[in-house]
């Protein structure tokens, strides 16, 4: 499953040749070398498990508890999480040579939730495959005083035939989980890769790396300049990579893939970007609160130390 803002489930190693890609020369599905640059940190060779420790270089940096003057105001231009914002991406996922229509919707609520002693903004995702809701999720984010956006956890529900079959949640401060960077304050090609979070209880260990900047791109929602491309990967799946194209003032405008032909090959484009109406925002609030209620009911050990959502 792909999460455009809240979560990533398939992905792998940043490669040395990625730095050689021109801003407009990135081709989806292009195999990349399998040698990580020194600046990207060590490449792990084992998958995380509930009892595993993160390999050196894969844990997130220390969370800046003392630099959170206004944590729920997330204005990073490449990942703005403004309450009431709505994104809709459409495309296909190719699995076993079959194209499956795919749609992801992300919205930012006007609710906050205390996670690990920090007030976070609450986002909401829906993942639709061939017209069926296969996953819904709330996720928790903040922005520090320097402009870095951090992920402090998520509660997803996965569905089959309308029934929940899994809810692999993690939240910073519980069961060894750590907050990670969703978007650096000044993302630029050639910088270091970064851990997007560490949830050892569910094997959550995604990383990101900016491989292109200054790009131009057009999608149904519009044409954009100064686009950056972030390669993301799950350290447990080193042969699969996901590419996310971020435009300033908007966020993710395109999702694509590069790497193993055996991976789920997903291509999405932003087709709608707008602000919710008051009625839509009220409906969103009800959906997010319902997910939170189930989180507390089904995973009391994980969420027992988190306060319930509050309006901004």
The backbone torsions φ and ψ at residue 282, rounded to the nearest 5 degrees and listed phi first, read -65, -40
Digitized pLDDT (tens) for each residue of the chain, 312 residues in all: 456 774 444 432 222 233 223 333 343 333 332 223 223 332 222 223 333 344 556 799 999 999 999 999 999 999 999 999 999 999 999 988 899 999 999 999 999 999 999 999 999 999 999 999 999 999 999 999 999 999 999 999 999 999 999 999 999 999 999 999 999 999 999 899 999 999 999 999 999 999 999 999 999 999 999 999 999 999 888 678 899 999 999 999 999 998 766 667 899 999 999 999 999 999 999 999 999 999 999 999 999 889 999 999
Phi-psi bin for 40: left (phi > 0), alpha (psi -120 to 50), beta?
Answer: alpha
- E strand segments, 54-115: 85-95, 98-115
Q: CA nearest 141: which of 186, 184, 81, 61?
A: 81
State both tokens at 160: 């089959």
Query: Would you list the domain boundaries of the chain?
Result: 16-307
Q: What is the pTM of this model?
A: 0.85
Gap between the Cα atoms of 197 and 205, Å rounded? 6
Q: Using DSSP, state whether 5 is helix, strand or coil.
A: coil
Per-residue confidence (pLDDT) for residue 46, from 0 to 100: 25
pLDDT, position 25: 37
| Residue linked to tokens 């407009």 | 24
57 neighbors 72 (Cβ within 8 angstroms):
no
Residue at token pair 């402090």:
152
């Amino acid at each position: 499953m792909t999460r455009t803002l809240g979560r990533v489930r398939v992905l792998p190693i940043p490669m040395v040749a990625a730095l050689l890609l021109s801003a407009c020369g990135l081709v989806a599905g292009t195999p990349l070398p399998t040698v990580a640059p020194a600046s990207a940190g060590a490449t792990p060779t084992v998958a995380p498990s509930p009892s595993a420790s993160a390999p050196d270089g894969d844990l997130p940096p220390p969370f800046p508890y003392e630099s959170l003057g206004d944590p729920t105001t997330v204005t990073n231009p490449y990942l703005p999480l403004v309450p009431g914002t709505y994104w809709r991406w459409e495309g296909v996922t190719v699995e076993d040579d079959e194209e499956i229509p795919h749609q992801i919707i992300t919205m930012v609520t006007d609710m906050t939730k205390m996670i690990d002693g920090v007030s976070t903004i609450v986002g909401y995702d829906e993942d639709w495959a061939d017209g069926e809701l296969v996953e819904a999720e709330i996720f928790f984010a903040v922005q520090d005083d320097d402009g870095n956006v951090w992920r402090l956890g998520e509660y997803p529900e996965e569905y089959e035939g309308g029934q929940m079959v899994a809810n692999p949640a993690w939240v910073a401060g519980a069961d060894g989980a750590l907050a990670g960077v969703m978007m650096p304050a000044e993302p630029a090609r050639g910088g270091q890769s970064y851990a997007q979070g560490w949830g050892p209880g569910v094997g959550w260990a995604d990383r990101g790396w900016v491989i292109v900047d200054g790009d131009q791109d057009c999608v149904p929602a519009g044409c954009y300049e100064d686009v950056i491309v972030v390669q993301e990967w799950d350290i447990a799946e080193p042969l699969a990579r996901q590419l996310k194209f971020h435009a300033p003032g908007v966020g993710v405008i395109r999702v694509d893939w590069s790497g193993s032909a055996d991976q789920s090959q997903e291509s999405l484009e932003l087709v709608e970007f707008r602000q919710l109406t008051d009625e839509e925002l009220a409906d969103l609030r009800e959906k997010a609160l319902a997910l939170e209620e189930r989180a507390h009911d089904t995973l009391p050990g994980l969420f027992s130390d988190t306060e319930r959502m509050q309006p901004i």
